[in-house]
Amino acid sequence: MTTLQKLTMVGERLLRDQLLDVLRRHGVSGWTITLAEGEGSRGVRASEWAGRNVQIDTLVSRETADAILEEVSERFFEDWALIAYTVEARVLRGDKYLS
């Protein structure tokens, strides 16, 4: 069992490929994506289902999580309603997620 960070990013679907590019550049090779509806502090509502948001989850080291969060913050937080956070996870055979 390895302790890793589950990194979650929720944002508009338009950001999907750019966010995955950030992950790849930081050596991440696996993630899951779910569709989400969101209402944020801007008051914009994605009312059509399977709407505007994607949630991207991945498992990374704390160091990688922090590097990704810093880049994401600098590039997207000014202009996009993006949410990003990490949660500590105990991962089965987690060593394979360490890049």
Does position 71 interact with its own copies (CB under 8 A)? The reply is no
Could you say which DSSP state residue 79 is in?
A: T
d(CA 54, CA 15): 8
Does position 92 interact with its own copies (CB under 8 A)? The reply is yes
- Residue 90 · residue 22 · CB < 8 Å: no
The minimum distance between CB 15 and its own copies, in angstroms, equals 14
Residue whose C-alpha is closest to residue 63's, from 26, 91, 8 = 26
Nearest residue (CB) to its own copies, 79 versus 93: 93
Chain residues binding its own copies by CB under 8 A are 1, 4, 6, 10, 29-41, 43, 49, 53, 55, 59, 69, 72-73, 77, 83-94, 96
